[in-house]
Amino acid sequence: MTEVRWTTQAADGLQAIYDFIGRDSEQYAQVIIEGILAAIDNLEQFPLLGRTVPERSRDDLRELIKPPYRIVYRISEVIYILTIFRTSRMFPSSLE
């Protein structure tokens, strides 16, 4: 199993998603967050599960699509969850 670590940017992004959806429905926000976390849990056993990021030409940078969100991560000795954002947004110009 590969260890998964979160960057501050990714943790803040997940919290922002919960806060935004939770304004209307805390229950639905919880369902969305649990779905994102379940997708990330799969990376421990299957780190190559995601596709390479089209905006970058790096083999170590991958993403999972959990509509309507993109979960961007980097593979090295451990998996780093770099950011989570809506698919309708532009890819971040900088990642941790």
The domain that contains 64 carries what CATH number? 3.30.2310.20
Q: Which domain holds residue 62?
A: 4-86
Q: What is the pLDDT of residue 2?
A: 85
For the chain, the DSSP string reads ---EEE-HHHHHHHHHHHHHHHTT-HHHHHHHHHHHHHHHHGGGT-TT-SEEPTTS--TTEEEEEETTEEEEEEESSSEEEEEEEETTSPPPS---
pLDDT surpasses 80 at 5? yes
Q: What is the pTM of this model?
A: 0.91
Residue 15 has a pLDDT of 97
**pLDDT mean over 16-23:** 97
- Confirm whether 95 is domain-assigned: no
pLDDT of residue 1: 79
Instruction: For residue 93, tell me if it sits in a domain.
Output: no
Asked if residue 55 is part of any domain, the answer here is yes
pLDDT digits (tens, 9 = 90+) for 27-81: 999 999 999 999 999 999 999 999 999 888 888 999 999 999 999 999 999 999 9
Tally the domains of the chain: 1
